Structure 1
Amino acid sequence: MALNKPYQAYQDNAVNTATGGELTLMLYNGCIKFIKQAMKDIQEKNIEAKNTNIQKAQRIIQELMVTLDQDVAISKQIMPLYDYMHHRLLEANLNNDNSALEEVLGFVTDFRDTWKQVILQTRQKQYAQGEHV
């Protein structure tokens, strides 16, 4: 147990010091992790774990929906995609449907990869302008 405490402290510190963009990236990564685990759970016929992992992924999508800035124009295009992913996760859970999980995994991975590029480009601009954050 003592070995987990330094790691937990590291994780807590990472979350507490992360920027909003980094937190969003963490949410995407967590969602990917839970979807992949749910896919394994379906293959292993571990229905209880599958349910838990899909629900965790759904909660992340819900958090992304709640925190989406509706004043930004692209949000009008992103929200329906989040809603669709949430719905597909529900279907995957009800039907033990790995293909639905694969579909959502593709969307979340694309969002994560795009978000990662936005963070990198923002940092490059800040450093180019001498704003060391």
Structure 2
Amino acid sequence: MSLARKTGGYSGYNEYKANEISTVSQVKLIVMLFDGAIRFLGVAMDNMTPRKYDVVNNHIIKAQDIITELLLSLNMEEGQEVANNLLSLYIYLKKRLLEANMKKDKAIIQECVKILNELKSSWEELEKKEAGQGQNAPVRPTGISITG
């Protein structure tokens, strides 16, 4: 199979995903990021038993990258206490995932997944409230900005 054929199939998908991401609210995007991190950590845990440590390493790093994006998107001025609390949680998660990756410790990853699921649930609640207000309602600052 030629390289053009391989990339051709993905270009439509990439366009679709880029369009999907560009048209969702910031809150929905944050929920999607949590979903991704949780999914990557699930793959990492699944590959610990057959000892595919290269796969474990890559997926933990992908989850860490997502957490880094969430951390960098914090608006410390507008978010104040909420942003500070999220900053502390994200730093803690990054530290624990680094430990999990070095030790290949499934229990640490499970702890991080639990925290990520709780954070995701909170953002989903905010997303429901935002959807209930309608699109014309003023959006309350969340302390996070996903704009480039």
What TM-score results when the alignment is normalised by the length of structure 2?
0.80
| Equivalent pairs, count | 129
Higher relative contact order, chain-length normalized (CA < 8 Å, sep 6+): 2
1:87 is aligned to 95
Structure 1 stretch displaced more, 8-17 or 56-65 = 8-17
Distance 2:134 2:24 in 1: 17
1:26 correspondence with 2:26: no
Distance 2:121 2:13 in 1: 25
Report SS of the residue matched to 1:45: coil
1:15 correspondence with 2:57: no
Runs of at least 5 residues in structure 1 that lack an aligned partner in the other structure: none
Distance 1:91 1:105 in 2: 14
Q: Which consecutive segments of 4 or more residues in structure 1 shift more than 2 A?
A: 1-10
Among residues 49, 52, 59, which one is paired with 2:55 in the alignment?
Answer: 49
Identical positions, percent: 26
2:133 is aligned to 125
Distance 2:120 2:43 in 1: 17
RMSD across aligned positions (CA):
1.7
Offset at residue 8 of structure 1 (A) = 3.5
How far does the alpha carbon of each residue in 1:23-51 deviate from its partner, in whole angstroms, 9 at most, with x for none? 21111111011000000111220010111
Report SS of the residue matched to 2:76: coil
Counterpart of 2:132 in structure 1: which amino acid? Q
1:67 is aligned to 73
Counterpart of 2:82 in structure 1: which amino acid? I
Distance 1:114 1:12 in 2: 25
